[in-house]
Amino acid sequence: MDQTLDGKPPSSEGSQPDADDRRSFVRINDTINLHYRYLKENDLPPVSEAAGRNKANSELQGINNQLEPLLMRLQDRSGGMVKALSLINQKLNLVLAATHRLEKADDGMRAITTKVTLSANGISFYCDEEPQQKNGLIQLAISLESFGVYLDCLGKVVRWERSASSARYKIAVIFTELAHHDQEMLIQYVVKRQMELHRAQSKA
């Protein structure tokens, strides 16, 4: 039976979930770049307000998020125009990635590359810092660089455990504040990566 990150099965009350709801429960194991910071209550304004401090970066990300699905639909076609658009998108991804790293460094967030279990509802990852408390707040900046998507969100730490093989902690987080369009991009990324991982396994 599927479970949420806090170990509870999805609710069966009411009507059956539609296709979009089911997509939100799809999970993958991946390795990504991540910025994080544990928070205290009222430590920061909502992510939506924090994002407004950098309007140019927000607009750049919005353009990239619209361009990426269009290129995915064209990726099997040939021609110089498709190649040119792909190169433009790669350039945009590099600019956005550099801007994202600098912005998060200025915010005092810790940067890590970590193995994760990821869905549209939450994430689990490995880090060196033990959370201060269960249900504590955490700020996350998730870099899905192969998809050209960079997401800012708030979450709640629902579980953590010390790794048996290292001094690191495995942290499970439920998203509590994630923009709707960002959640949709995250769903698309998870579904795409799941297909890629299945193809890679079938070829192995």
Encode 180-200 in three state secondary structure: HHHHHHHHHHHHHHHHHHHHH
Asked if pLDDT for residue 203 goes beyond 70, the answer is: yes
Gyration radius from the chain CA atoms: 18
Question: What total of structural domains would you count in the chain?
Answer: 1
pLDDT tens readout for residues 114-167: 999 999 999 999 999 999 888 899 999 998 877 777 788 999 999 999 988 778
Confidence band (pLDDT; 50, 70, 90) for 68? low
Residue 2 lies in a domain: no
Boundaries of domain holding 180: 27-203
**What are the tokens at 182?**
């960002």
Strands (E), 76-136: 110-118, 122-127
Answer whether 0.75 is exceeded by the pTM: no
In a domain, residue 35? The reply is yes
For residue 11, tell me if it sits in a domain: no
Asked if residue 176 belongs to a domain, the reply is: yes
Residue 6 falls inside a structural domain: no
Asked if the structure places residue 173 within a domain, the reply is yes
Domain at 131, CATH number: 2.40.10.220
Instruction: Provide the β-strand partners of residue 113.
Output: 33
**Residue among 89, 90, 96 at smallest CA distance from 33:** 96
Average pLDDT on 168-180 reads: 93
Q: Is 104 inside any structural domain? A: yes
Residue 152 CB partners (closer than 8 Å, separation 6+): 47, 50, 51, 139, 140, 141, 142, 182
Instruction: Tell me, yes or no, whether 14 lies in a domain.
Output: no
Tokens of 146: 């192969």
